[in-house]
């Protein structure tokens, strides 16, 4: 295994520390630099961004609603298919529950049979 010469290792560590500190100060401006005017501007910018996003989402939802109304009968078909799927899933889960119950009973019978209870071997 090659070793990094000590001066080079120190330089690499210092450059890593510098990069970390630079990133920290870039992302965390000094609290005292945030004047009340700056905070108000920042709040207003965020408020405007939120309002633009709200308008975009409302417009998107209105388009979805219009498409849904335009589809008409296809929505009813989807509801029917979804209902069939839900019914089939309930049936499957019930069948699976019964299967695992019977499997547990069978395993118990096998254990009883192996322990000498010959009546459980039938």
pLDDT value at position 67? 82
pLDDT value at position 83? 92
What Rg, from alpha-carbon coordinates, does the chain have?
34
| CA torsion, ordered 19, 22, 23, 26, to nearest 10 deg | -160
pLDDT digits 0-9 by tens, 107-122: 999 999 999 998 888 7
Q: Is 55 strand, coil or helix? A: helix
Check residues 23 and 81 and name the one with the higher pLDDT: 81
pLDDT value at position 79? 81
On the question of pLDDT at 84 being above 90, the answer is yes
Q: Is 52 strand, coil or helix? A: helix
pLDDT value at position 71? 75
Q: What's the rounded mean pLDDT across residues 94-112?
A: 95
pLDDT value at position 30? 59
pLDDT value at position 39? 92
pLDDT digits 0-9 by tens, 19-69: 666 666 665 555 567 899 999 999 999 999 999 999 999 999 999 888 877
pLDDT value at position 121? 84
Contact (CB, 8 A) for 110 and 102:
no
């Amino acid at each position: 295994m090659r070793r990094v010469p000590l001066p080079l290792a120190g330089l690499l560590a210092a450059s890593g520390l510098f990069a970390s500190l630079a990133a920290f100060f870039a992302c965390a401006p000094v609290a005292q630099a945030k004047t009340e005017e700056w905070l108000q501007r920042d709040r207003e910018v965020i408020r405007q961004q939120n309002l633009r996003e709200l308008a975009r989402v409302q417009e998107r939802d209105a388009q979805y609603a219009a498409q849904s109304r335009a589809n008409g009968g296809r929505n009813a078909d989807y509801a029917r298919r979804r209902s069939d799927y839900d019914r089939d899933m309930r049936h499957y889960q019930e069948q699976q529950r019964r299967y695992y119950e019977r499997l547990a009973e069978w395993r118990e019978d096998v254990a009883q049979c192996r322990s000498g209870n010959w009546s459980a071997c039938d």
